[in-house]
Structure 1
Amino acid sequence: MEIAPDTKISAVLKENPAAMEAIVSINRHFEKLRNPVLRKILASRVTIGEAARIGGCQVEDFYEKLAPLGFEVKGQATPSGKVAEAQDSTFPEYLQNLPSSAFHYLDVREDLANGNDPFLLIMKAVEQLTDKNTLVLVNTFEPTPLLQILHKRGYDSYTEVKGPDLVYSYFWRKGEVVTALPSQPATQDFEQLLAQYAGSLKKLDVREMEMPLPMVTILNELEWLPTGHALHVTHRRVPQFLLPRLEDRGFQVAIQEAKPEEVYLLIFKPASS
């Protein structure tokens, strides 16, 4: 199989499953591929070039590890050893022109390590932005759901991978912004819905999963949820990042906060959707 910077990781793994260990050996950042759920979700969306950028390595590192498995490089490798999508990694001109005092840093790594959801903290910081400053979110991974939410609200962003577990995400206003938080689907009578889907219910407990695995797992389960069925999720908290993504996909959710660090979500798609 010929490979190039735009080759999807999923295509490489499908061609030769042994490629997973070869890729993992490049950088410990790729250990996530060992998780079957993350592998299924991420590998189909990420190319070799994008993976190199995320992992802070070079496309040639992939070529070197995959060559013994029979993979051949399509065309010429980038002479400089840089990722083909170098333009994406160029620090935006807007940020280059800002003084250092205009960068406001918010480090959420400790919150994530302690199992706390920093969503509201991040949103509060974002809403304090003007057209003359930017928020630098310090995280351990690229917060794709957050990027999508804020883009819809009128913010631009740029992600810079500093290391395997250190990612800077920059957010700034690009014009008029929507100030309201992402809407939360209306909470319906939980017990009534639970009885309605009693015979068509799949249960999922994500309380012991590390972020962002709970949301990834839930969205993956919903992709395969049969029509007329519902997904019953036991979570540690109301997942603020997840709610707008459910709404975008046409799902509704009933929420029951049973006790501290135990929240039930009943996720379903109405028959008329």
Structure 2
Amino acid sequence: MNDRTTGATAKGLTDKDSTAERQPGPPEWLALALDIEPLDVRPALATGEDPLGLIMEAADGIEFGGALVIDAPFNPSPLRRILAARGFSSYGRNLGPGHWRVFFVLNGGQDWERDADVEVGPEGAMTWREDDGLHIDVRKLKPPQPMLAVLRLLDAVAATETVVVHHERVPQFLFPELAERGWRVERMAEEFANVRLWLMREG
């Protein structure tokens, strides 16, 4: 990697600005990246080291359809633009102060930068808000954690709230629990690795 490339990528990890249009919620390909161990560059940055070489080396080893996950202290938007030029789409989640997790997938850069502010529940489920309601992603959680996370959220939200569940499969065992609590499935959409259910209270 020449000096010019190194300089460009180093700027990518220190510049937070982005001109990309924000789109709420996770892309469909995110489920493919949830099991990947993140490459955490926060310790290196905290000591003044430049982790760009390590990141680019990791990116060079990704085959088409593969994914890379980076933990950073902020949203590295210019880095995301650089990897977009190499064909990576990315999705960022703000997990808390000084902690961004950015998922990259090598798919031609079809959806190169999306973000969402999320909260992580006790079971590991992630929640965020969109125009159509409060979303909860329980994919990749081991049973019975998906059901527990959904029920915990339903017990905590307002009666007028719409809750959108992202699940790996149709959660048949959840339906009796919903009925017992006075909730119904308003509609359902089945996609690859993402079954979405819009839940509303009865009445």
TM range (shorter): 0.3 to 0.5
Q: Which has the higher helix share?
A: 1
| Structure-2-length-normalised TM-score | 0.41
Task: State the structure with bigger RCO (CA 8 A, min sep 6), 1 or 2.
Answer: 2
Greater C-alpha radius of gyration: 1
